[in-house]
Structure 1
Amino acid sequence: MKYTWTALGTFRGWWLALLVLLAPLAASATHIVGGELDLQYKSGNTYALTLNLYFDAINGSAGALDDNLTASIFNKTTNQRVVDVVLPRVSNTFVNYTNPACTVGSLSTRKLVYTQDIFLGPSVYNNPGGYYVAVERCCRNVTITNIVAPGNAAQTFYLEFPAVVRNGAAFIDSTPRIFPPLGDYACRNELFYYDFGGQDPDGDSLAYDMVTPLNGHATFANPLLTQAGPAPYSTISWNPGLNVNNQIPGSPALGIDARTGRLTVRPRDLGLYVFGVRCTEYRRGVKIGETRRDFQLYVLNCPTNVAPTLQVRAPGSTAAYRPGRDTLRLQPGGNRCLTIRYTDPDPSSVLSMSSRAVNFTTTGPIFSTSTTGMVHAAGQPDTLVTTLCFPDCIDTKGKVYLVDVIVADNGCSLPKHDTIRIAFTAASRPNRAPVLSTTFPPAPLPVSDDAPAVVRLTLGERYTATLTGTDADLNALTLSAAGAGFNLADADMKFTAQNGQGRASATFTWEPTCAAVGQAKTNNSLLVRFRLAEAGPCEPLPQERLIRFVVAPKGDSLAFRPPNVITPNGDGQNDFFMMPSLPVDFCDRKFASIKIFSRWGQAVFSSSERGFRWGGAGAGGMYYYLVTYTDGQKYKGWVEVIP
């Protein structure tokens, strides 16, 4: 449907005629809907500086589609210019309506994105007072109705950010990302709402307020500045009777929730209204930055749209649920489903149902039948019916939980709703946890989910363990095993399970090999998690055992203690230096060599044989040895030769 402005036709025509008389530049200069600057941390000292500019695709001229714009950065304390940054345009897209079916030909907005990576070095950007960025451009839409001389009003896009170093340490901050711009219009005398709230990547606290849009230094005669001027920036001039708290008059006038950033207004008059919003970010209670967004809201006469209505009936009741007076009490094994009837008096209305938990985070009720449909059309019913069921496992532990049941229509410009808040208590049927017993060693004390028991094995030693799971409620049980960072099959581990109702059993077998040891990440050990899970309607947490398998070679010495004295005098007693207790070869770890040195560092003996024998260097004294293995392991010590 196409809408026209009868009340503003004369005003618009007067302005268009005036602009034609003033200069041919007007057609290419009046286009700005609004926009905001954005600064996002990337890495090191590199940030992405972005300008989102919203362009009137109906009244704007292609001549105002700038290929690039210049952003200027200033020291906030001194207003001294730090640098000018050229931002090239990287995208040109349309802003979507919330409901595309509500599109009108007189409202279409483009989003132009200009961006460039910049370097914010700590030697430059260290002023405790912070910095600000500005881009100046003229002009705003000639059709704006709430400011003086809109065709000659410019915009200053403005952002503040902190120093990148604080107390000698890096201080990283990204601008809060304000939610997407609105592509919608508002209907006269109808409540309009939109979420302008943001998300901060650093977790900073955000606060919102309405501000008067900035005008700055650009003019109708000089719309595109090569660089922004320093603050302060002049503001636009409101029409008589309007101000920062009454930018769009109505009941209520345009306002924003300081905490959530939600815009609301019930506009009184037709028109195209510019407005300004500021988002301020705080870290540990201290302001560190702000960003501003200017935008427009188009107010039209819309067809009458009556809100839908819904009715909720409790299980087994023919009476309607009474919000604020009734509390549902859901018991195990009972009927836990609500019957919901919803309708709309408008012809051919498409309705949709939804639910929203208010004061709990566990799984809420689920619609078990269709939640959308059309009413009051040929072949369609006048009233729709659906069912909302609460899970058997939900348990409020004696508390009263609240859930909103919501019906929405497809009216323009935004859907209308009806909401009923359901209060309920619920108990789930008792379900005892299953029991897992094994032949693995007991877990270390104190018992912890992440503290594994240790099983020590040697190469070639076969190990077998059994696992048994039982459940008093006779729910289906499943036993499983998984390696931490490896597949059991790749390590030649075998796990077989017999799962069943109320009982499950399994066998684990392993005979360590060098190939299996190759799967180990550290210390020749492999970590395996064994789990018993219950498949029931209200299953508790699974039962688990964590086992660390440590592998050692056969016959490995508990302690390597070579002799430290030899007496090579031919009496057959301690005539040679030998190391029979050397750590044995183990998979990729093999004996490589031994070297013996005099006390002056001169090599006197070397051998690559594990069974070496050294009878001294022909002279008594202290000697030093170095034993190496192929995996880099080294053993150092000394031996004294007594002739």
Structure 2
Amino acid sequence: MRLSFTLISGRAVGALLLVLALLRPGAASATHIVGGEMELQHRTGSLYTLTLNLYFDAVNGNAGALDQQMPASIFDKATQRRMLDVVLPLVSNTFVQYTNPACTQPTLSTRKLVYSRDVTLDAATYASASGYYASVERCCRNLGIRNIVNPGGAAQTFYLEFPAVVRGGQPFLDSTPRIFPPLGDYACRGELFYYDFGGQDADGDSLAYDLVTPLNGHTTANNPGPITPQAAPYSTVIWATGLSAQNQIPGTPALGIDARTGRLTVRPSQLGLFVFGVRCSEYRRGVKIGETRRDFQLYVLSCSVNAAPSVQLFPTASARAYQPGRDTLRLRPGTDHCLQVRFTDPDPSSQLTVTAQPVNFTSGSPGPTFTTATSGTVRAAGAPDTLTATLCFPGCQDTQGKVYLLDLIVADNGCSLPKRDTVRLAFTAEPAPNTPPVLTSSFPLPAVPETTPRIVRLPVGSGYAATLTGTDADGDALVLSATGRGFNLPAAGMSFGAQNGSGRATGTFRWQASCEAAQLGRLLVDFRLAESAACDAQPQLLTVQFEVVPTTDSVSFRPPNIITPNGDGINDVFALPTLPPDYCGAQFAGIRIFSRWGNEVYHSPDRSFQWQGSGIAGTYFYLITYTDGRRYKGWLEVAP
């Protein structure tokens, strides 16, 4: 169900929001915010959807702080002028999932609250070259956060920037990045933690990531939810001693983010709850056009030691393991294209999974695939201590002289996140060579270069036959076929039969030109020669155009131009036995004869007509018509 709301402004907005703030229970002592971010997505025309994702502590958060709506505002970046106040209703309330549900901790549970509604950003209003920003302010963060000062009184300003909706007099459409997914996991002290905070951009803009100090803003524990957000600047949270934007979660390494991918990494050295801030900047043609921020928390626990799995590669029939960085696997025609992947884990009852991930090439099709199971349990009762899987490359794999890199990754099911081991395989591959097949035929050669189809023209009732031959120097199996473009061959009086085989295929095409074929118009037939080459199959195509033409061309029509109706039996009447013949739907319609003054003196619908003159010598003119619109004109002298 889609809810519809009406924008209101001015004192009405203020009054409504004041009532909502007063009705919100527990607002003054609300500590619940895990983090969140905003989005602005273009829909159509001037219509956009403004969304706030707020992450709520479902364990320690004050239930009374679960707002049913949140006030948001849009401001001009250059002037700080308030452009729009809008109330965002709660449209979704779900739990954030763990990467591994088996690692669930009762002390960590997060809700994702989504507040959203449509807004109109018209070009006449939102045209400032400096752009705009949207914000929502709310207090307070969790009391247990240990890397900032006074966490129970610290607020969050949810913030995004977006460009003008018109640039250079033309619409400038943009949807802000969507950061995904939210963090449901915890980290273990002394263990490497990683998570993907990368985003998606509907417009294909470039995204860059960095760590920033979370915004606090204007709200406080005594005023946790303002009637409307205030304009920038927004104050930031205060880091605990020794911490900063570049050292938000202490560790070796400290919290960091990949500027290109948005991947978070940290090996935390302290237990507790830590807040951090990420900025995702959006660029189009090298120019920054907007940004969105996400604040979030990471819970660091003391975990049981989880040993990392390990993986090795063995070329088939080789007892020596592949050595990354030293060996290169060379796949040549006629050699074995399979590898054995062996993976294990020192922990008991570990569930392992192995995957293959291309590094400097796209997997495409065909690509390397596993031909056996890729997961299983090790070191459990009745289970082996080492698992094996077979990875095979297609015989047609072609690296085109380059060295391709493929990561073989084994992951366990440990908590909080899987531990992994990776072997990077370097390989080259050459496909089996293939000579293209050759297709010849008895069809007439085109009058112009081969880019033009060959043409066969037949009169109605005539027959035609042609032969085709395909040969292949490699002896590959060949198949000849014929297909009409937009019509079935039998409907046009055509047939094709082929004798296919290895290295050679022959075919016979026959056509009986008919009025049915004439009604179909120009007929294009594609003759294909397909080969069953293992690699780089190169089918051949020959296109022939067939046309039905009249039995006798009008050029041969030569009517007499004088008659002598004197009764001597010689040239007494005007008749046209050599009239162009009727042609399928093109029939003789009639003849009309006129005097030199334009008066009609004779007409007949019969193609075997005979006119004996009008009894008056002189010059006459005739008009012959056919049902397809053809017209023949001429003159006739009637002698005395």
Q: Same fold (TM over 0.5)?
A: yes
Distance (whole Å) between structure 1 residues aligned to residue 86 and residue 513 of structure 2? 64
- Aligned match of 1:30: 32
Does residue 475 in structure 1 map to residue 476 in structure 2?
Answer: yes
- Aligned match of 2:16: none
Q: Residue 151 of structure 1: SS of its match in structure 2?
A: helix
Distance (whole Å) between structure 1 residues aligned to residue 260 and residue 281 of structure 2? 11
Does residue 281 in structure 1 map to residue 282 in structure 2?
Answer: yes
Distance (whole Å) between structure 2 residues aligned to residue 271 and residue 487 of structure 1? 75
CA offset at residue 265 of structure 1? Answer: 0.8
- 1:127-152: CA deviation from partner (whole Å, max 9, x where unpaired): 11111111222222233222222222
CA offset at residue 441 of structure 1? Answer: 5.4
CA offset at residue 591 of structure 1? Answer: 12
Distance (whole Å) between structure 1 residues aligned to residue 110 and residue 400 of structure 2? 51
- Aligned match of 1:243: 244
CA offset at residue 155 of structure 1? Answer: 1.7
- Which residue among 436, 447, 450 is the counterpart of 1:433? 436
Does residue 403 in structure 1 map to residue 399 in structure 2?
Answer: no
CA offset at residue 269 of structure 1? Answer: 0.9
CA offset at residue 481 of structure 1? Answer: 4.8
Q: Per the alignment, do residues 446 and 585 of structure 1 end up closer, same or farther by CA in structure 2, a change over 3 Å counting?
A: closer
- Aligned match of 2:543: 547
Q: Per the alignment, do residues 369 and 581 of structure 1 end up closer, same or farther by CA in structure 2, a change over 3 Å counting?
A: same
Aligned pair count? 594
- Which residue among 378, 383, 391 is the counterpart of 1:388? 391
- Which residue among 420, 424, 438 is the counterpart of 2:423? 420
- Aligned match of 1:531: 528
- Aligned match of 1:126: 127
Distance (whole Å) between structure 1 residues aligned to residue 400 and residue 196 of structure 2? 34
Q: Residue 504 of structure 1: SS of its match in structure 2?
A: strand
Kept in 2: contact 1:338–1:389 (CA 8 A): yes
Distance (whole Å) between structure 2 residues aligned to residue 342 and residue 221 of structure 1? 57
**Letter of the aligned partner of 2:167 in structure 1?**
R
CA offset at residue 283 of structure 1? Answer: 1.4
Distance (whole Å) between structure 2 residues aligned to residue 140 and residue 486 of structure 1? 71
- 1:492-530: CA deviation from partner (whole Å, max 9, x where unpaired): 765554443333344555667787788x7xxx5455544
**Letter of the aligned partner of 2:325 in structure 1?**
G
**Letter of the aligned partner of 1:471 in structure 2?**
D
Q: Residue 136 of structure 1: SS of its match in structure 2?
A: strand
Moved more, 142-151 or 503-512: 503-512
Q: Residue 152 of structure 2: SS of its match in structure 1?
A: helix
- 1:28-64: CA deviation from partner (whole Å, max 9, x where unpaired): 552443233232344x232222222222222234433
Distance (whole Å) between structure 2 residues aligned to residue 238 and residue 610 of structure 1? 107
Distance (whole Å) between structure 2 residues aligned to residue 297 and residue 453 of structure 1? 72
Q: RMSD of the TM alignment (CA)?
A: 4.7
Distance (whole Å) between structure 2 residues aligned to residue 73 and residue 264 of structure 1? 33
CA offset at residue 112 of structure 1? Answer: 2.1
Q: Residue 412 of structure 1: SS of its match in structure 2?
A: coil
- Aligned match of 1:75: 76
- Aligned match of 2:379: 376
Kept in 2: contact 1:313–1:340 (CA 8 A): yes
Kept in 2: contact 1:70–1:226 (CA 8 A): yes
CA offset at residue 27 of structure 1? Answer: 6.0
Kept in 2: contact 1:75–1:82 (CA 8 A): yes
What is the 5 A alignment of 1:101-250?
101-250=102-251
What is the 5 A alignment of 1:446-525?
465-481=466-482, 494=495, 496-508=497-509, 524-525=521-522
Kept in 2: contact 1:41–1:173 (CA 8 A): no
- 1:209-267: CA deviation from partner (whole Å, max 9, x where unpaired): 11111122233233233322211111122222211111111111111111111111111
Distance (whole Å) between structure 1 residues aligned to residue 71 and residue 485 of structure 2? 54
Gaps of 5+ in 2: 1-24, 556-577, 591-599, 608-624, 635-640
Distance (whole Å) between structure 2 residues aligned to residue 592 and residue 221 of structure 1? 99
Q: Per the alignment, do residues 88 and 429 of structure 1 end up closer, same or farther by CA in structure 2, a change over 3 Å counting?
A: same
TM-score normalised to structure 1 length: 0.78
- 1:180-211: CA deviation from partner (whole Å, max 9, x where unpaired): 22221111111111121223222222111111
CA offset at residue 424 of structure 1? Answer: 2.6
- Aligned match of 2:96: 95
**Letter of the aligned partner of 1:242 in structure 2?**
L
Q: Per the alignment, do residues 388 and 525 of structure 1 end up closer, same or farther by CA in structure 2, a change over 3 Å counting?
A: same
Q: Residue 158 of structure 1: SS of its match in structure 2?
A: strand
Distance (whole Å) between structure 2 residues aligned to residue 160 and residue 212 of structure 1? 17
**Letter of the aligned partner of 2:390 in structure 1?**
T
Distance (whole Å) between structure 2 residues aligned to residue 152 and residue 288 of structure 1? 33
Q: Per the alignment, do residues 47 and 513 of structure 1 end up closer, same or farther by CA in structure 2, a change over 3 Å counting?
A: farther
Distance (whole Å) between structure 2 residues aligned to residue 209 and residue 591 of structure 1? 84
Percent identity (aligned): 59
CA offset at residue 306 of structure 1? Answer: 0.6
Q: Residue 129 of structure 2: SS of its match in structure 1?
A: coil
Distance (whole Å) between structure 2 residues aligned to residue 85 and residue 459 of structure 1? 76
**Letter of the aligned partner of 1:427 in structure 2?**
E
CA offset at residue 270 of structure 1? Answer: 1.2
Q: Residue 280 of structure 1: SS of its match in structure 2?
A: strand
Larger gyration radius, structure 1 or structure 2: 2
CA offset at residue 440 of structure 1? Answer: 4.8
Distance (whole Å) between structure 1 residues aligned to residue 112 and residue 267 of structure 2? 26
Q: Residue 281 of structure 1: SS of its match in structure 2?
A: strand
CA offset at residue 347 of structure 1? Answer: 0.3
Distance (whole Å) between structure 1 residues aligned to residue 229 and residue 215 of structure 2? 13
- 1:543-569: CA deviation from partner (whole Å, max 9, x where unpaired): 24363747566479899xxxxxxxxxx
Q: Per the alignment, do residues 442 and 293 of structure 1 end up closer, same or farther by CA in structure 2, a change over 3 Å counting?
A: farther
Kept in 2: contact 1:37–1:292 (CA 8 A): no
Kept in 2: contact 1:444–1:452 (CA 8 A): no
Kept in 2: contact 1:36–1:294 (CA 8 A): no
